[in-house]
Amino acid sequence: MIQKAAEILESSKSLFVLTGAGISAESGIPTFRGTDGLWKNYSATDLATPEAFEKNPELVWEWYHWRQGIILKAEPNPAHFAVAELEKKFNNFLLLTQNVDNLHRRAGSKKVLELHGNIFRARCLSCGRIVHHQIEPGKEINNLPKCDCEGLLRPDIVWFGEQIPQDIWQASLEFLSAADTSIICGTSGIVWPAAAIPEMAKKNRAKIIEINLEPTPISSIVDVSILGKAGEILPLIIQTLNTNI
């Protein structure tokens, strides 16, 4: 399977990569679904909604600050570095991530678009201003974060039921329509619109390589499905590429 993935990549001219929470799991960042997605008995997917923020902004901010703390202590893992390495090998390359943790950039990725926002940004609900927002590790935050205009800040994150950034989505689709290969890594494949990407790639006759710990709803349409840890599989694919060249 590794060899087949490497062969597909060797015959490709443009590569689209879609990543999800699974690629950051080996950096110690909890994924959304499954038991590690639980925080104080709340499910991550229940907290990532505008309704949860409206009802209890303190709780939702506490969760995002807790996650910031984990992310600030985390390091990119071999899977993030492998994706950055792939970018160097392909002139035509785009990484679309659903993750908000910045780890791809910290690993050296440059051509990266964030579909669901960034955990280190906040947006003012009154004036719309977007600001950098980062906790100081060890320092407790007692008040709700406020903008200079005194408006309430919210995480600059795309929650369920909210529109994804249209410029990022359009740019991704434009690249995808011309890409001959897609790698789909560490995503459950159930959150839309990212979940539609493999089907769109297939319609464009692109080859699809999926890397995940377990089969997903996408697995039935991909050309190569590799079950395993992203941090082990992606470096192995790169090694095989280098050996074949």
Hey, which residues are catalytic here?
Answer: 116
**Is 115:37 a contact under the CB 8 Å cutoff?**
no
Residues 149-188 that bind Zn ion (CB under 5 A): 149, 151
The smaller minimum CB distance to ligand BJW, of residues 100 and 179, is found at 100
User: Any contact of residue 75 with ligand BJW (CB under 6 A)?
Assistant: no
Which two tokens mark 117?
């926002």
Reading across the β-sheet that carries 153-157, which strands appear in turn?
130-132, 117-124, 153-157
Q: Which residue is nearest to ligand BJW (CB)?
A: 22
- Rounded Cα distance, 142 and 137, in Å: 14
- Rounded Cα distance, 131 and 134, in Å: 10
CA 172 to chain centre: 14
Of the candidates 15, 16, 32, 104, which one interacts with ligand BJW according to CB under 6 A? Answer: 32
User: Any contact of residue 48 with ligand BJW (CB under 6 A)?
Assistant: yes
- For residues 120 to 149, the per-residue mask of contacts with Zn ion, x marking binding by CB under 5 A and - elsewhere, is ----x-xx-x-----------------x-x
Could you check whether the bond before residue 57 is cis, i.e. omega within 30 degrees of 0?
A: no
Binding residues vs ligand BJW (CB under 6 A):
20-22, 25-26, 31-33, 37, 45, 48, 98, 100, 116, 157-164, 186-188, 190-193, 211-214, 216, 229-230
